[in-house]
Chains A and B, each alone.
Chain A
Amino acid sequence: MAGLSFLERLKAGEILVADGATGTNLQARGLPTGTPTEAWLFDRPDEVVRLEREFVQAGADIILTNTFGGTAVKLQGHGWGERMAEVNRRAVELARQAVGDADVFVAGSIGPTGQLLKPMGSMEPEEAEAQFAAQARVLAEAGVDFLVIETQFDLGEATAAVKGVRSVCSLPLVVSFSYDRGTRTMMGVRPQKMAQEMSALDVDVLGINCGRSLDDNLSALQELAASARLPIWFKPNAGLPKLDEENRPIYDVTPEMMGAYTNTWIAEGARIVGGCCGTTPQHLQAIATVVKNR
């Protein structure tokens, strides 16, 4: 369905394949732990493009930019706050390069600020909103097809993110939460509550990414599907890692296992499927093969 927009393709009933993990794959390729993935936009752009290209070859219809930690406040944790615009522009450029002529969308990834909002933490909601607005503006101007606010856990921060995005652009918008306590986020938010609050905002797709086990992710999907009227984005992690001798994470969910779940995800209501932490291009290929052979 070449030439159609993201929302048009969803409307036409298509099941789309999103990409796999950025961070864990770059780490497996040598990104030192503790270094933000965004650093490789400048240090190893070839590796960033190679990974994204592998996802395209594996069957992804959507590539997310390497900008998960791309708000200025998050980048500042590594002293990169002032390079926010440069980082986000560069990431879109590299993703476009990886995608080339393929009929694949480039989506701008927006992750949490890494801080808690008041009264739990010290960040004002208005400050969070401004942070998200600034990142979204750069991503939009650099030409992403749509935006994905992901791995959210707090309704307040996610609301600030949506408001921030909406203050600068009207691109299609996905909001995805991480249920890392099973079917609750670490703040205790349930999928149903998330659906209710996020649907009241100007959001196009609701999602789940990066939780606990594949079964926990599936339970969260079922709960979300029961209350969501919007299309569902679903990128579970390949289970939780164990650490090897060198403290490198080992994910024991195989590509076959993820492939074996894919039809269930779709049957339970997922319209866009992919994977989060631990999902290699091989895992993604297993997922994409199931989707394309339906």
Chain B
Amino acid sequence: MEEVLKEIFQSIIDGDQKLTPQKVQEALDAGLEPGYILNEGMVAAMSEVGRLFEEGEYFVPEMLIAARAMQAGLAVLKPKMVEANIQSIGKVVAGTVKGDLHDIGKNLVCMMLEGAAFEIIDLGSDVPPEKFVEAVEKNGANIVAMSALLTTTMPNMKTTIEALKAAGLRGKVKVMVGGAPLTAKYAEEIGADGYAPDASRAVALAKDLVS
């Protein structure tokens, strides 16, 4: 692997918000493909951060700082992806459901989707069903992506799906869900079109849903 990619990887693991965009720029200047930089350098780093968190080596602050470094790098990368004529392959309305403030996982999923050339309309966290509906209507989205981290807020995914139905949008938009307490079975029960256990599989799922 190119040295600069290793440096990008390491700068994200270290949460170095200054170094990551610099190294991404260097990689672009060296003629590396944006998609290659993204996947091999950045996505790989965030997966490693996730692993370090699972193993108890990293805690929430380290994870948040790494995500910010990734975001800073992405800001440099994005215009190049547009230039490289990687066209938007779908519009995604994303958010953490009502009553739930956990947005770290959702933000990661959004970043990865953005990196994979989806257009993201991020509604943030604690998003009520009517806001999802409104955003889908306004933007003509292809996918609604909902995240929930609390067993107590998971039912709000179902409520949102019902609101989409009631607004006559369910036939026009695919629904994908994720978050630590969810299962594929639960996703199926509430009538979602798909579930992904992590951000990279969320990208694969989203691509699948728009194909």
Which residues of A line the B interface, CB within 8 A? Answer: 33-34, 77-78, 114-116, 120, 181-182, 184-188, 243, 247, 249
Query: Chain A nearest CB: distance from B155 CB in Å?
Result: 6
Inter-chain contact B59/A182, CB cutoff 8 Å: no
Task: Determine which of B99, B101, B154, B156 lies in contact with A247 in the assembled complex, contact meaning CB atoms within 8 Å.
Answer: B154
Task: Determine which of B56, B59, B155, B181 lies in contact with A187 in the assembled complex, contact meaning CB atoms within 8 Å.
Answer: B59
Residues of A contacting B139 with CB < 8 Å? none
Question: If the complex has contacts A33-B152, A34-B153, are A247 and B186 also in contact, measured as CB distance less than 8 A?
Answer: yes
Question: If the complex has contacts A120-B64, A188-B61, are A249 and B151 also in contact, measured as CB distance less than 8 A?
Answer: yes
A-B contacts, 13 listed (Cβ < 8 Å): A34-B99, A34-B155, A34-B156, A114-B101, A120-B61, A120-B64, A181-B56, A182-B56, A186-B60, A187-B59, A187-B61, A243-B151, A247-B186
**Complex formed: what's the CA distance from A209 to B37 in Å?**
44
Inter-chain contact A33/B155, CB cutoff 8 Å: yes
4 nearest A-B pairs in the assembled complex, by CB-CB distance: A188-B59, A34-B152, A33-B152, A186-B60
Determine if B126 is an interface residue (Cβ-Cβ < 8 Å): yes
Residues of A contacting B153 with CB < 8 Å? 34
Query: Chain B nearest CB: distance from A232 CB in Å?
Result: 23
Query: Chain A nearest CB: distance from B110 CB in Å?
Result: 18
Residues of A contacting B60 with CB < 8 Å? 116, 120, 186-188
Which of chain B's residues 48-78 have a Cβ closer than 8 Å to chain A?
A: 56, 59-62, 64
Query: Chain B nearest CB: distance from A152 CB in Å?
Result: 14
Q: How many pairs of A and B residues are in contact by the CB < 8 Å rule?
A: 39
Task: Determine which of A33, A77, A184, A187 lies in contact with B151 in the assembled complex, contact meaning CB atoms within 8 Å.
Answer: A33
How many of chain B's residues have a CB under 8 angstroms from any CB in A? 17
**Complex formed: what's the CA distance from A181 to B153 in Å?**
22
Main secondary structure of the interface of A (DSSP, over half): loop
Task: Determine which of A34, A115, A181, A249 lies in contact with B101 in the assembled complex, contact meaning CB atoms within 8 Å.
Answer: A115
Main secondary structure of the interface of B (DSSP, over half): loop
Task: Determine which of A33, A77, A185, A243 lies in contact with B126 in the assembled complex, contact meaning CB atoms within 8 Å.
Answer: A77
Residues of A contacting B126 with CB < 8 Å? 77
Query: Chain A nearest CB: distance from B195 CB in Å?
Result: 14
Closest chain A residue to B56, Cβ basis: A181
**Complex formed: what's the CA distance from A188 to B55 in Å?**
12
Which of chain B's residues 139-158 have a Cβ closer than 8 Å to chain A?
A: 151-156
For B56, B64, B152, the residue with the greatest tally of chain A CB atoms inside 10 Å of its CB is B152
Residues of A contacting B99 with CB < 8 Å? 34, 77-78
Query: Chain A nearest CB: distance from B18 CB in Å?
Result: 15
Closest chain B residue to A115, Cβ basis: B101
Residues of B contacting A116 with CB < 8 Å? 60
Residues of B contacting A120 with CB < 8 Å? 60-61, 64
**Complex formed: what's the CA distance from A247 to B151 in Å?**
8
Query: Chain B nearest CB: distance from A200 CB in Å?
Result: 21
Query: Chain A nearest CB: distance from B158 CB in Å?
Result: 11
**Complex formed: what's the CA distance from A114 to B181 in Å?**
18
Closest chain A residue to B59, Cβ basis: A188
Query: Chain B nearest CB: distance from A223 CB in Å?
Result: 15
Residues of A contacting B64 with CB < 8 Å? 120
Query: Chain A nearest CB: distance from B119 CB in Å?
Result: 26
Residues of B contacting A77 with CB < 8 Å? 99, 101, 126
Task: Determine which of A33, A114, A186 lies in contact with B59 in the assembled complex, contact meaning CB atoms within 8 Å.
Answer: A186
